[in-house]
Structure 1
Amino acid sequence: MQGASRSALAESREALSQALSQDTDRARLGEELLQVARVVDANAVLRRSLADPSREGADKGQLVHRLFAGRVGDASAQLAAHIVSRRWASETDLVAALEQCGVEAILAQAETEGRLGQVEDELFRFARIVDGTSELRSALTNRLAPVEARTALVRQLLAERSAPETTRLAELAATHRRTRFDHAVDGYLAIAARRQEQLTATVTTAVDLSEEQVTRLTTALSEQYSRDVHVNTVVDPDVVGGIRVEIGDEVIDGTILSRLDEARRRLTS
C-alpha cells in the first residue's frame, strides 16, 4: 500500500487493537470482517462508493452500518465502519485492509488459545507442501475450480491434524479472488510474526537440521538482529550443502550451489 492507504491501514490496525482489547469474540470478529470484505469486493458500485476520497468518512461509515446492521455483530459493524471511513488510495486497498484485519483477529484468537506459533508453523509447512506437489498446487490454485471443492480439499488435508485457525486461513488463501495462494499465505505469516513481535527466517539446507542445530541457529540470528527470530526450515537437496537464510528482503547464502553459480559467472565473464 502507498500514500494515504498506509496511514489508513495503520489507523485501522489501531482500531482493531482496541477492539481486541475488549471482551470480544475474536474469531467471530475476524469472520465478520471477512464477510464485510467479501460483500464489498463483490459489489463494484459499493466498492467505489466506500473508497471514494471525495466522500465524507462519516457518510461511508453510516452506509456500512445500514448495510450490515443485523448481519454482523455491533463490534464488527463499528470496526468495519471505522475502516471504510479512512481515506484509501484505491478500492483494492480498502478490501485488503478489511481482509487483513479479519485475518489478524483470527490469529489473535489463536494467540489467546496459546497456539499462534503452531498456526504459523503449520501454515508455512502446508504452503511448502502445496508448492512442492504439482497436482495439489493445481487443485488449490485453479480459479476455475469451484470454491466449495477447494475448501473441501483443504479441510480434508488439514482439519483432523491442524489448529482450526490454520485450516481456516488455508481455506481463505485457496479461495482468494485476487491473490495467489502462496502470496496470501505469506501475508498471513507476516501478520502472525508481527503479533509475536518477531522476525521470521526461512532457512534452506540440503538435509534436515537437528533440533539442537535449529536452536543454535535461532539463538545466533536473534542475537544478530537483536529481536526474537522464528526459524522455518526447508530441505532442498539441490543446494548440495551449506545454508541459505532469508529474513525479509535480506538473503545470507552460504550454499555450495550459490558458490558454484558464482564460479560459473566468473568463468564466463
Structure 2
Amino acid sequence: MTPELLRERLAQAGDERMKVAEDLFGVADFLRTNSSVQRALTDPSREQSDKDALVDRLFAPVVSAVSIQCLHDLVAGHWSRPRDIVHAVEEAGCDAVLLSAQFDGVLEETEAQLVAVSVFLQSHRDLRNELSDLSALSPKGRADLAQSVFQSVLGQPSMRLLRRCVGRTSHGHLLGKLRELAVRAANLSGRRFVFVESAHELSDDQKMRLEKILETKLASPVSATYTLRPELLGGLVIRMGTERVDASLATRVGALKRSIVG
C-alpha cells in the first residue's frame, strides 16, 4: 500500500486517524499468529472479492470502515510468501502514525524524536538490550519501560512508534527499526535522510555546509543525523539509502597499509 493511497484513506478518517493505525497494528498481531489466514489472504488463485469478504467477516466488527478500506487495499497486493502480509500491515500501521503526525503538523518533530531516541540508545547499551531482549520482559513490559524512560521528551506519535518497536522488534534490530522509521518520516515530507558519522563533533557551520553540498548532489532537501565515531580518526562516513561514501581517515590509512604490504 503506497503512502499516497494511505494518506487519501486517512483524510477520510478525520480525528480518527490514529485509530486506523491502532486497527492495523491489531490486525498485524492477529495475522502474525494465524498462518492459515495469511495464506487465505495472499493466495493468488483466490478471487479478490473472496479476500475482501474474508477481511470483512474477520475484522469489520472490530475496526473502522476506513481501516477495512486499507485492508482491502493491502490484500489486493501480490505476495512472495504468505507471511509478507504481516510485514505489510505492520508497515501500514507505522505509516499511519507518521501520516497522522503530518496531518497534525508534527512530522518533523516526530522524526527528530525518533532519531534522538536511537542516538541515546546507541550509547546506552544496557537499556538498549533490556528493551530488545525478548526473554527478559513481555512486549508490554518492554513498551512500558520505554515509556517510563522517554515519556517526558516524546510526543504521542513518536511514543506510539517506540512502544511498537520495543514490543515487536527482535534482539539486535531495535536501532535499525527506529532509524528506518526516521527515514520513512523524512521521505513522507519529501526529504532524503542522510546518516553522517564523524570522528569529531562538527560545528553548526560545518553541518550547514555539508547539508548544502548533499542537497545539491541529491537534488532534494535533506534531513541529516550525526553520530560520533572516534575510531574513524578523521573525515566522514556518509550513508544515503543504499549508497555509502567512506571518506574517513581510518579507511585511508587502512588502504595505505594494504598497498604497502602488497
- Mapped pair 1:195 → 2:185: no
Correspondence for 1:257: 250
- Aligned residue among 11, 18, 24 for 2:8: 18
Secondary structure in 1 matching 2:202: coil
After superposition, the C-alpha distances for 1:28-64 in whole angstroms (9 at most, x for unaligned) are 1111111111111121221221122221121111111
Render the CA deviation track for 1:202-253: whole Å, top value 9, x for unaligned: 1111222222222221111101111111111111222122222111122222
Match of 1:238 among 225, 231, 244: 231
- CA displacement 1:130-173 (0-9 Å, x = unmatched): 23322112111212231122111110121111122111111111
Contact 1:123 1:189 in 2 (8 A): yes
Residue 93 of structure 1: aligned partner: 84
Aligned equivalents of 1:86, 1:223: Cα separation in 2:
36
Deviation of 1:189 (Å): 2.3
The one-letter code sitting in structure 2 at the alignment partner of 1:200 is F
Where in structure 2 are the equivalents of 1:72-83 lying within 5 Å? 72-83=63-74
Correspondence list, 1:115-154, <5 A: 115-144=106-135, 145-154=137-146
Name 1:37's counterpart in structure 2: 28
- CA deviation profile, 1:151-198 (whole Å, cap 9, x unmatched): 111101211111221111111111216683233223322321220111
Equivalent pairs counted in the alignment come to 259
Q: Kindly indicate whether the alpha-carbon contact (under 8 Å) linking 2:198 and 2:234 is maintained by their aligned counterparts in 1.
A: yes
Counterparts of 1:212 and 1:250, CA distance in 2: 24
Where 2:238 maps in the other structure, the secondary structure is strand
Give, in whole Å, the separation in 1 of the partners of 2:257 and 2:168: 41
| CA distance, structure 2, for counterparts of residue 47 and residue 34 of structure 1 | 15
Contact 1:198 1:229 in 2 (8 A): yes
Distance in 2, Cα, partners of 1:38 & 1:17 = 22
Q: Share of identical aligned residues, percent? A: 26
Give yes or no for contact 1:58–1:85 (8 Å, CA) kept in 2.
no
- Normalising by structure 2, report the TM-score: 0.91
What corresponds to 1:212 in structure 2?
A: 205
Deviation of 1:23 (Å): 4.5
Compute the displacement of 1:72 (Å): 0.9
In structure 2, the residue corresponding to 1:103 is in which secondary structure?
helix
Report the 3-state secondary structure (helix = DSSP H, G, I; strand = E; otherwise coil) of the residue aligned with 1:214.
Answer: helix
What aligned pairs does 1:159-170 form with structure 2 within 5 A after superposition?
Answer: 159-170=151-162
Alignment deviations for residues 47-106 of structure 1 (CA, whole Å, 9 cap, x no partner): 221122221121111111111123111111121122123332212221111111111110
Is contact 2:146-2:162 (8 Å) kept?
yes
- Residue 57 of structure 1 contacts residue 86 of structure 1 at CA under 8 Å; is this kept in 2? no
Out of 189-198 and 172-181, give the one that drifted further: 172-181
CA RMSD of aligned residues (A): 1.9
SS across alignment from 1:22: helix
Instruction: Give 5+ residue unaligned stretches, structure 2.
Output: none
